[in-house]
Structure 1
Amino acid sequence: MASQAARTLVVGEALIDIVLGPAGREEHVGGSPANVAIGLSRLGHPAELLTHLGPDERGRRIQDHLAATGVRLSPGSEAADRTPTATAHLDEAGVATYDFDLPWDLPPIDPPGGVHLHTGSIAATLEPGASQVLELVQRSRADATISYDPNLRPSIMGEPHDVRARVEELIGWSDVVKTSDEDLAWLYAGAPVFEVARLWGQLGPSVIVITRGPDGALVHLPAAGEEAAVQAVPARVVDTVGAGDSFMAGLLSGLLDAGLLGGREAREALRTAGLDDILPAVARASACAYWTIERAGAAAPTRSDLSVSD
């Protein structure tokens, strides 16, 4: 059944993924924030995407895909001169590396109230839009909960020291942070993941989740002082495109269903939550990610898909 919890505004890039692999060339609608919005909608949550598209065939394709999956496109999201693309090069194991052509700007928007706001990836680090994203997060913080996935892309973000301060600033404004051990290895030169999680916990978020691919995920709740290692769901890997975004959507879905995301009351409930409250959302996140891994491209499951998988 669809959740009646708060709607989610996702802020960030939507693009066309051009996948080059052993099977040849394919194109899919992608972009980490767009994938999260689509994942949330497919799980039954009202989702809106604020993004930057061009007036071209690829932009129309993205709009049609968003509409077909139930995601509302925010006004002003069609002002780019061309639609962004990401070219994913798949190795023999199906693991993707990326090249990007990504103009990024953000249309003016009033801070949303009583909703959940999610952002991350390239949109939170690539100027001029990154500064606008940060400002929107800051202005929205009083009346909306915030989640953030750094989803770092070294090929276009420069050196770690170029982005570390911005990443930590956004973490400080966020309630929920999800990242991967690969991101942390690049950003902090291989520091132990729980050590980084505890550092981030001092900046302000209530929930920090670090994914570790086939090794599962680590969960850190700073206020409760609780930590847990969560085992991965077994999967037959087709490719990893969109898996982290599916995990993010599943995590938010579980927290929305639990009433832990939305306005001020949800923030307070999240801050006092323990592992028993958070781990069901992490389990849903893992199930979503591994459903995606077993399919080509950034496929996202519905609730019925997850039930069948179970």
Structure 2
Amino acid sequence: MTRPAHVTVIGDALIDELRDPRGAREFVGGAALNVAVGLALLGEQVTLVAMLGDDEPATRIRSYLRDFGVRIVESPSEHGTSRAVSDRTDGEPRYEFNEAAQRRRIRFDDATRAAIDEADLVVVSCFPFDDAEQAAELRAAIARPGERLAIDGNPRAGMLRDREVFLANFTDAARDALLVKVGDEDADLLLGAPLADFVERLRASPATAAPSDAAAPRSPAVLATAGRDGATLVDGTDEVHAGIVELPGAVVDTMGAGDATLSAVVHHLAVHGVPSDVSGWSAALESAMGIAAATVRHEGALLRVPTHQSEGGS
């Protein structure tokens, strides 16, 4: 594309409160918000559809999005703005979510549907798939998902009300998508199984059946992230793997690694289209892993680009 892609991201926006031995600090965050801002930093024209309350944290989130040129389409929240607390005071992080985060909902009104309809690409992250009504509204709102939908379930134990319902609705939505991202922690939480099993589950059956005179539906490309073991992209018979990229400086905060990886792959699709072979997917994944490596060398989840890698050339 010669112009920036129009990308609409649907999901969560919240305040991340980080507690560790140094004290407590707050960041504007949320998986969907991180992806939206990351895509804007990479040069795309981005709209975020997310729930906000009528309170001071929402004002901070709006200001943050304006700073990065991300348009917000708000769904109202009677419980205020979502908040996630990450407590790392004794090493291993523990997460808690307030009532707003646990009861998150997207309102599929005219403004939301217009933002979806005008988008070249739609990204869904940290969506309440354990709400059957919300899952049905999402699927009904996105035309041609196999051409433009990227989806990341991003389940969180503290927000998960019904694991089986979430798994079923996420799997159904993902099979119709162009790209689906899953992580090793997602596989453990939703399936109690290795990541490879989750990937196979997503690819086991085709998307919505095509008419007899149409081409057979394709399975989604799957971006599987495994922390220190890197990431793998699987599309049809093509499979590529990329390990962790070594950059100068220590790893400071891994919180935004997965969101940065997804942002970078979606950006590659926006710029170059869907890769047709292994070399294309390799380029997308290698660029994404470099961006993730730069991101984790800073506190917070704001996407960073390695100094040797330009935003427009991933």
TM tier relative to shorter chain: 0.7 to 0.9
Q: Contact conserved, 2:255 with 2:296, CA < 8 A, in 1?
A: yes
TM-align CA RMSD = 2.5
Residue 179 in structure 1 maps to residue 182 in structure 2: yes
Give the TM-score, by structure 1 length.
Answer: 0.84
Give the TM-score, by structure 2 length.
Answer: 0.83
Corresponding residue of 1:197: 199
In 2, Cα distance between equivalents of 1:283 and 1:180: 17
Count of aligned positions: 288
Pair 58,251 (structure 1): closer, same or farther in 2 beyond 3 Å: same
How far apart are residue 228 of structure 1 and its match? 2.2
Structure 1 runs (4+) greater than 6 angstroms displaced: none
Corresponding residue of 1:79: 76
Q: Contact conserved, 1:13 with 1:32, CA < 8 A, in 2?
A: yes
In 2, Cα distance between equivalents of 1:17 and 1:65: 13
Q: Contact conserved, 1:124 with 1:130, CA < 8 A, in 2?
A: yes
In 2, Cα distance between equivalents of 1:106 and 1:3: 32
Q: Contact conserved, 2:48 with 2:71, CA < 8 A, in 1?
A: yes
Percent identity over the alignment is 25
In 1, Cα distance between equivalents of 2:267 and 2:88: 29
Runs (5+) with no aligned partner, structure 1:
261-269
How far apart are residue 36 of structure 1 and its match? 0.3
In 2, Cα distance between equivalents of 1:112 and 1:232: 36
Residue 291 in structure 1 maps to residue 288 in structure 2: no
Letter in 1 for 2:199: A
Corresponding residue of 1:251: 265
Secondary structure of 1:66 counterpart: helix
- 5 Å matches for 1:1-310? 4-74=3-73, 77=74, 79-81=76-78, 82-90=80-88, 96-101=93-98, 102=101, 103-107=103-107, 108=109, 109-110=112-113, 111-113=116-118, 115-125=120-130, 129-137=134-142, 140-141=143-144, 145-158=148-161, 160-191=163-194, 193-201=195-203, 202-204=205-207, 205-222=219-236, 225-234=237-246, 236-260=250-274, 273-302=276-305, 306-307=309-310
In 1, Cα distance between equivalents of 2:75 and 2:266: 26
Where relative contact order (Cα < 8 A, 6+ residues apart) is larger, the structure is 1
Secondary structure of 1:106 counterpart: coil
Secondary structure of 1:198 counterpart: helix
Q: Contact conserved, 1:55 with 1:78, CA < 8 A, in 2?
A: no
Letter in 2 for 1:44: G
Pair 43,131 (structure 1): closer, same or farther in 2 beyond 3 Å: same
Secondary structure of 1:52 counterpart: strand
Q: Contact conserved, 1:104 with 1:127, CA < 8 A, in 2?
A: no
Secondary structure of 1:229 counterpart: strand
How far apart are residue 132 of structure 1 and its match? 3.0
